[in-house]
Amino acid sequence: MPSPSAHAEEERSPRETDAEAEAATADIEPDYSQDDEGFSESTSSSYVTSIASDIRRGVIENGRVYAAYGIHKSWTPVDEAEMDRNELQHCKFMLLMNDELYLAPITPDPQKILDIGTGTGIWAMDMADKFPAATVIGFDIAPVQPSFVPPNLHFEVDDAEADWLWEQNSFDFIHGRELILAIRDWPRLIAQAYAALKPGGYLQLAGSYPEFRSDDDTLPADLAYVELGQIYFEMSEKVGVSGRDLLEWKQQLIDAGFVDVVEKMYKIPTNPWPKDPRLKKVGAFELLHFRETISNVFARGYTEILGGDPVYLEVLLARARQEVLDRNMHSYVPYFVVYGRKPEDSHVHEQAEPLQPTA
């Protein structure tokens, strides 16, 4: 899928208006090849080359491919089906956010941008196109990014939960989106991002919160797809990567020293039930995403983490795929965006002590 090229060209104001904030959360009106260059150049050692090959190949379980690199076990696949989901999500989020790649009022001429957990790299590619004078870096535990990218963009294999080796006080903007089932220690990641940002730079985090909601009481509590949301939270909490952590991001940014911290919640319709044409399209994307690719989220974790019956899961998924077609249920998924600025008078010493995980 080609990278969407549409994005707003106008400069953003330093702060979002109250009207914008209200519009995002207002009730919705119903309408009844892999890049392996880094490995080949890194060493001639056959041992390291073998490890690199394993990282590129990944781990195959039950017909799905998972990342072989990282401090912790990966719970979401990194195969073609998951990459399709990643790109579909990007299109959906762009439409949801009025073709904005970000909300943070970053400098109009950033020099260095970092994308955490870049996945297919589609967001990073769009940013590299938007800011051709900037150096854009995307990193992920899986080398699944394309080889042909803008010349100012490069990808690296790394784990966001490891000690960051980026130069401190060097990035204008750090971005992380949909890091589902990936981050166990958000305060530590936020602190590392703070250290890596230039004074005045911004961190923006975004993620879906799959607690299905309705503003008009049209969502029965006994639906299979409501149960899937509950399973997701139970699964994530058991492995220490709680899906509820994003509700703490705003305070965690403040605690880390960020200022002008903003939290914004969007509503993702679960099918094309809204009257608004843009939200109707968002709902169509979400419907396709749910019906075609949502099983990726549960592929490894449901049986291994919860000890669940895979047959029951397939039945539940089949029911949910049918239920989500009902446009009489005006349900949506909350999507949170949180950003904050590192103060201009802040400076992290280059030789700061290594950051330690929280208890």
The CA-based diameter of the chain, rounded to the nearest angstrom, is 64
Predicted local confidence at residue 326, as pLDDT? 95
Q: Calculate the average pLDDT of the chain.
A: 81
Does 239 have pLDDT greater than 60? yes
Q: pLDDT band for position 23 (50/70/90)?
A: low
Q: What is the pLDDT of residue 7?
A: 42
Model confidence pLDDT, tens digit, residues 191-223: 999 999 999 999 999 999 999 999 999 999 999
pLDDT, position 120:
86
**What is residue 82's predicted lDDT score, i.e. its pLDDT?**
64
HSE (side-chain half, CA atoms, 13 Å) at 16: 20
| Percent of the chain at pLDDT exceeding 90 | 53
pLDDT of residue 295: 76
In this predicted structure, what is the pLDDT of residue 96?
A: 96
- CA gap 243, 86 in Å, rounded: 18
E strands in the chain: 59-61, 64-66, 112-116, 135-140, 153-157, 171-177, 197-208, 213-214, 259-269, 331-341
Q: At residue 68, does pLDDT exceed 60? A: no
Helix 224-238 × helix 310-323 angle, to 10°? 130
Neighbours of 19 (CB within 10 A): 8
pLDDT in tens, 141-155: 877 667 889 999 999
The share of the chain scoring above pLDDT 70, in percent, equals 74
Taking the C-alpha atoms of residue 131 and residue 128, their distance in angstroms, rounded to an integer, is: 5
As a whole number of angstroms, the distance between CA 238 and CA 37 comes to: 37
Class of domain 54-342: alpha beta
pLDDT (average), residues 231-241: 88
Domain borders along the chain are 54-342
Residue 58 clears pLDDT 60, i.e. is over it:
no
Strand 197-208 versus strand 331-341 pairing type: antiparallel
Across the range 245-270, mean pLDDT stands at 97
pTM: predicted TM-score of the whole model, two decimal places: 0.78
